[in-house]
Structure 1
Amino acid sequence: MDHTDMLILAELSRNSRITMKELGGKVHLTGQATASRVAKLEDTGVIEEYSIKVNQFKCGYYIHAFITIYTNTPNTHNHQPLLTFIQDQEQYVLNNYKISGDGCYILECRFPSNEHADKFLEGLNKYANYKLSIVIKKS
């Protein structure tokens, strides 16, 4: 990877729908040379996927929360029932990370209402203890 590849990645991170011609103009290459570099970045696994960013608020998910999970199973590593519950709640869970330090997992969630969040937490409490942090605003 060289400086041009890093510029390509930066531009694609800002707008992955940009044409190769436009991208080439920004990194001082032809569209064809840019397309070749992007293809190489994809083939080598540097670029894993393209995605979109959805405005969760405009989709009706008004509550943004981080939930630190403390499992109830100190003598066993069978977290599968908990993980199955989380997977079944995928409409609310944006990200699920296994962590070290304070807690076992941290979930990033969006809920349409306090009632939905409360129902989720009641279900979660069957498998683990938790600490809830509500996002006030993104800095």
Structure 2
Amino acid sequence: MLDQTDIRILEELINNGRITMKELGKKVHLTGQAAASRVIKLEEYGVIEGYTIKLNQVKAGYAIHAFINIYTKSMDHNPFLTFLEKQRQFIMNNYKISGDGCYLLECRFPSNNELDVFLTQLNQYVNYKLTIVIKKSNEA
């Protein structure tokens, strides 16, 4: 479905989602209008689902970055998932997984106090294993 030009367009948009269509066209050897048409088609096909920003969590006030392996206590996960909906400001990603645990949460917290409150409430629904991020490596 994707040709080499589409792949190049996606690479450029991943690197800079705010690039103008004219500049994108130059980088992939198309006119700005042709690049814009391809981007629209990629959106319509669902290849591009949306656009976002990359947030510096620490500068935004979230000093603690944590991964939490979730081990459910019952077959009914709805109480846990409802709890998470109420805690959206702390949840970056919630992955349903196989392997070690049932879910993997990626979370952010302003301080240890908020993390402690969250974990105390979380423990009413599930068991967990906490991992705190010390530093993100710049290597991919």
TM norm. shorter chain > 0.5? yes
Q: What is the aligned counterpart of 2:111 among 110, 113, 121?
A: 113
| C-alpha separation in 1, matches of 2:81 and 2:27 | 44
Tell me what 2:71 maps to. Answer: 70
| C-alpha separation in 2, matches of 1:22 and 1:109 | 36
Structure 1 residue ranges without an equivalent (≥5) = none
Q: Percent identity?
A: 68
Tell me what 1:58 maps to. Answer: 59
| C-alpha separation in 2, matches of 1:95 and 1:43 | 25
3-state DSSP of counterpart to 2:136 = coil
3-state DSSP of counterpart to 1:102 = coil
Letter paired with 1:135: V
Letter paired with 2:20: T
Structure 2 residue ranges without an equivalent (≥5) = none
Letter paired with 1:38: V
Task: Show structure 1 runs of 4+ deviating over 6 A.
Answer: none
Tell me what 1:135 maps to. Answer: 133
Q: Normalising by structure 1, report the TM-score.
A: 0.96
1:72 offset after TM fit, Å?
Answer: 1.0
1:129 offset after TM fit, Å?
Answer: 0.5
Q: Deviations over 1:32-53 (max 9, x none)?
A: 1111111111111111111111
What's the RMSD between the two structures over aligned residues? 0.7
| C-alpha separation in 2, matches of 1:18 and 1:45 | 20
**1:18-97 matched pairs, under 5 angstroms:** 18-73=19-74, 77-97=75-95
| C-alpha separation in 2, matches of 1:36 and 1:60 | 39
| C-alpha separation in 2, matches of 1:137 and 1:120 | 22
3-state DSSP of counterpart to 1:137 = coil
Q: Normalising by structure 2, report the TM-score.
A: 0.95
